[in-house]
């Protein structure tokens, strides 16, 4: 599976930053079948919100069009720490992954806890 970058990311990231994403993805466990989100970085914002940067993975043989998503940040106990609806326009070719950031506003946070490496991001 290869990493591709959405046009805005392609235009703004340096080659070094792109290579860092590609290297990070190469160290992840691959998940077969369907659509998944694999966390890269969860970072609390000063305003109390959260930025969740993930690899969106299309693990199928058909292109994937994303227009509306609900993203959930889940802690290690299975509790929802944040959830929000997002509108986007993103095409992910078959068997590729693309980095993407979801920015959760403070009112969509369910907890003020600091994000941990054990947290996950679910999208549907």
CA–CA separation, 107 vs 105, rounded Å?
A: 6
Question: Residue 86: beta bridge partners?
Answer: 69
Per-residue pLDDT tens over the stretch 37-55: 989 999 999 999 999 999 9
Per-residue pLDDT tens over the stretch 77-92: 999 999 999 999 999 9
Task: Tell whether pTM > 0.85.
Answer: yes
């Amino acid at each position: 599976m290869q990493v591709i970058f959405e046009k805005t990311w392609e235009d703004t990231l340096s080659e070094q930053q792109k290579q860092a994403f590609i290297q990070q993805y190469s160290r992840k466990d691959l998940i077969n079948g369907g659509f998944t989100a694999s966390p890269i970085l969860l970072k609390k914002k000063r305003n109390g919100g959260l930025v969740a940067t993930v690899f969106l993975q299309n693990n199928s043989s058909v292109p994937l069009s994303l227009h509306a998503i609900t993203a959930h940040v889940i802690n290690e106990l299975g509790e929802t720490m944040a959830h929000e609806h997002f509108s986007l326009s993103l095409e992910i070719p078959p068997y590729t992954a693309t980095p993407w950031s979801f920015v959760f506003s403070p009112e969509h946070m369910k907890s003020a806890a600091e994000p941990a490496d054990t947290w996950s991001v679910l999208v549907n």
